[in-house]
Amino acid sequence: MPVLKVNNLTKTFGGISAVTDVSLDIEAGEIIGIIGPNGAGKTTFFNLLTGLYSPNSGDIIYNLDSKITTHDLKPHKITHYGISRTFQNIRLFQNMSVMDNVLIGFHSELKYGVFCALFRLPSYFKSENEIYKKTDRLLDRLNLLDKKYELAKNLPYGDQRKLEIARALAANPKILLLDEPAAGMNPRETRELMNLIKWIKDEFRLTVILIEHDMSLVMNICERIFVFDYGNLIASGTPEEVQQNKKVVKAYLGEEVE
Amino acid sequence: MKRLSRKQIMIIIGLLAFYAVTNFMINKNIIDSYLQLNMIVIGINIILAVSLNLITGFTGQFSLGHAAFMSIGAYTSAILTANFGQPFILSIVLSGAAAAIAGILIGVPTLRLKGDYLAIATLGFGEIVRILALNIDYIGGAIGFNDIPQYTNWTWTFILTAATIVLIYNFINSYHGRACAAIREDEIAAEIMGVNATYYKVLAFAMGAFFAGIAGALYANYFYFIKPDSFGFMKSIDILVIVVFGGMKSIAGSIVGAIVLTIISSFLQGIPELRMIIYSLILFGIMIYRPTGLIGDDKFIIGKKKRRSI
Ligand SMILES: Nc1ncnc2c1ncn2[C@@H]1O[C@H](COP(=O)(O)OP(=O)(O)OP(=O)(O)O)[C@@H](O)[C@H]1O
Ligand SMILES: [Mg+2]
């Protein structure tokens, strides 16, 4: 059973159709790449998958602990279901520390009530101590522990992207959506990121779906690739298949090929 | 994180000592009634500023209607104590509750608004409450509500001020408080990380209103007399000024701000025009030289450089 099934998904903004009749299946444990020229609808697709937009038509079905369908997808519920994401234009909590950013990633795991918090009942200490330990462990594994107390906005760009991944991982997802994780990174950082993604996929037993313009990264780590162009899913397959696909070459080069 | 850090124990001992000394001095008349009045006003202003800071500083929801919650608390307590002879403790709790319910009622529809729009909506709410109070004869209308029993004393003020600070501090340093801060920083990212933004905005609003209502009860039962115009737009601005002056996102800032500005305005009591000018100058100065407020941000709270065990 595919972990994510999308049927005839369509989203329009006014006159333009950002995502048109897209259908696809994604199996658990895959690393999936989504590529396509600027404005192809990739981010819109992610926003649909995470409930930030609701589709004009079509269905999204996740087979996670339970079956999640389109109308269940409220943004604040997706981490409860096991879906977590990052953003193309980094959306960290800028004026909060690295640690606090990750702490918020654990939000859906924490359960003690407001009353417990106000009066610091035992469950407050128990839960908070646990979460602080987990935060340290996660930061350590992503090599961010020494920057724990720095404000997110003061981190170098590459670390900000990494912190966003750390925050997403804190929510303990089964599916991780990464929107252009390598954007703005230099080749060395991109290589490190590639290893990081492969590593977290195994370590956290994830299904990873990533949007990326950096072809070296996509071709290297993705098992399957979906290609978007003007809102349409124009091709899919292994990196080799996609590279040979005439429609894909045309979409990227913008001209007829013999 | 331990139950109580050494620093917290020191603070508790310090507060108890402070209370013992001030109370002794009041009993021995070393602190005269004028000074005591100022101490009580400072306490009330601390409660107002810290509770507004929860809404505006920590959760990032710009509110210009805080005095209206105070007003609801003040009238509730006046009615309960003067007309129904209820004990003060009960009337304090119910004043807070009445204000909190008003906070939820106004918060649910308006908190989806952002920035300026929310400010205007809360401003409108404040005016509605004031005009309602002006037109309800049962509570004295424009003439005001007279003969409220004077239950508020230094002990009540001290306990409730300390309780407000501790409870809001605890809230902010819990995952609920972190969720509020995340909403302030980036609402979409907060939601994606599992924070129900609507719930937390309304919660922060209701909690802030609750404490403002308590401040209102202290006020009503100290001054015998309240009138709708005491809780108008200017009062809301006064509270906001304390928060901005002391520093958004800083509880310590709100405390220091309330103390400093209450003292300044008590010196300028006789010349209200001058008071507004001096207030404006102070704000100019703060904005130019210390845009983050007197205590900067985060001195007390999440995001601080070194987190002690709480
Ligand atoms: N909220 C919105 N309102 C109106 N139009 C939108 C909105 N979001 C996206 N669009 C439009 O939908 C189309 C697809 O945009 P989208 O951001 O999904 O592209 P993308 O594939 O992520 O591109 P890029 O590679 O540049 O990130 C674009 O034409 C964009 O202008
Ligand atoms: Mg995009």
pLDDT over threshold 70, residue B262: yes
Mean pLDDT of B33-50: 96
Domain count of the fold of chain B = 1
B178-193 pLDDT tens trace: 999 999 999 999 999 9
Closest-CA residue, ligand 1 atom 2, reads A13
258 residues of chain A, pLDDT tens digit each? 899 999 999 999 998 999 999 999 999 999 999 999 999 999 999 999 999 999 999 999 999 999 999 999 999 999 999 999 999 999 999 999 999 999 999 999 999 999 999 999 999 999 999 999 999 999 999 999 999 999 999 999 999 999 999 999 999 999 999 999 999 889 999 999 999 999 999 999 999 999 999 999 999 999 999 999 999 999 999 999 999 988 888 888 775 544
Q: What type of residue is B117?
A: Y
Whether B19 is in a domain gets the answer no
pLDDT of residue B302: 40
Q: Tell me, which fold does domain A4-253 have in CATH?
A: Rossmann fold (3.40.50)
Segments making up each domain of chain A, as ranges: 4-253
Whether B290 is in a domain gets the answer no
Whether B210 is in a domain gets the answer yes
Whether B114 is in a domain gets the answer yes
Give the best residue of B174, B183, B250 to mutate against chain A (max A CB count within 10 A): B174
Interchain contact A75–B (C-beta under 8 A)? yes
Q: Which ligand is nearest to the CA of A47?
A: 1
> For residue A128, which residues of chain B lie inside 8 Å, CB to CB?
1, 174-175, 310
B268/A236: higher pLDDT: A236
Q: Which residues pair with A31 in a beta bridge?
A: A208
Ligand 1 site residues (CB inside 6 A) read A 13, 16, 18, 36, 38-44, 88
B90-109 pLDDT tens trace: 999 999 999 999 999 999 99
Whether B201 is in a domain gets the answer yes
A126/B271: higher pLDDT: A126
Element of type H or E holding A198 = helix A187-203
d(CA A251, CA B5): 62
Identify which of A12, A43, A209, A210 to mutate to test ligand 1's pocket (most ligand atoms within 8 A of the CB).
A43
pLDDT over threshold 80, residue B253: yes
pLDDT of residue B296: 65
pLDDT over threshold 50, residue B308: no
pLDDT of residue A248: 86
Question: Confidence band (pLDDT; 50, 70, 90) for B297?
Answer: low
Closest-CA residue, ligand 1 atom 31, reads A39
pLDDT over threshold 50, residue B200: yes
Question: Confidence band (pLDDT; 50, 70, 90) for B273?
Answer: confident
Question: Confidence band (pLDDT; 50, 70, 90) for B289?
Answer: confident
Torsion region of B296: left, alpha or beta (phi above 0 gives left; psi -120 to 50 gives alpha) = left
Q: What is the mean pLDDT of chain B?
A: 91
Percent of chain B with pLDDT over 90: 74
pLDDT of residue B298: 46
pLDDT over threshold 90, residue B7: no
Whether B76 is in a domain gets the answer yes
> For residue A115, which residues of chain B lie inside 8 Å, CB to CB?
none
End-to-end CA distance of chain B: 5
Q: Tell which A residues from 138 to 197 touch B, by Cβ distance under 8 Å.
A: 149, 151, 167-168, 171
Which three-class secondary structure string do you get for chain B? CCCCCHHHHHHHHHHHHHHHHHHHHHHCCCCCHHHHHHHHHHHHHHHHHHHHHHHHHHCCCCCCCHHHHHHHHHHHHHHHHHHCCCCHHHHHHHHHHHHHHHHHHHHHHHCCCCHHHHHHHHHHHHHHHHHHHHHCHHHCHHHCECCCCCCCCHHHHHHHHHHHHHHHHHHHCCHHHHHHHHHHHCHHHHHHCCCCHHHHHHHHHHHHHHHHHHHHHHHHHHHCCECHHHHCHHHHHHHHHHHHHHCCCCHHHHHHHHHHHHHHHHHCCCCHHHHHHHHHHHHHHHHHHCCCCCCCCCCCCCCCCCCCCC
Under a CB-based contact definition with an 8 Å cutoff, are residues B69 and B212 in contact?
yes
Q: Whole domain around residue B74: which residue ranges?
A: 35-233
| ipTM field | 0.94
Question: Confidence band (pLDDT; 50, 70, 90) for B309?
Answer: very low
Q: Residue holding tokens 């906005």?
A: A153
Whether B71 is in a domain gets the answer yes
A172 CA: distance to closest CA in chain B (Å): 11
pLDDT of residue A7: 96
Whether B146 is in a domain gets the answer yes
- Specify the range with the lowest mean pLDDT, choosing from A157-161, A225-229, B157-161, B266-270: B266-270
Mean pLDDT of B147-173: 96
Mean pLDDT of B197-210: 97
pLDDT of residue B306: 42
Counting from 1 in the atom list of ligand 1, the atom nearest the Cα of A180 is: 27
Q: Which residues pair with A97 in a beta bridge?
A: A151
Specify the pTM: 0.93
pLDDT over threshold 70, residue B301: no
Interchain contact B181–A (C-beta under 8 A)? yes
Question: Confidence band (pLDDT; 50, 70, 90) for B292?
Answer: confident
B141 CA: distance to closest CA in chain A (Å): 37
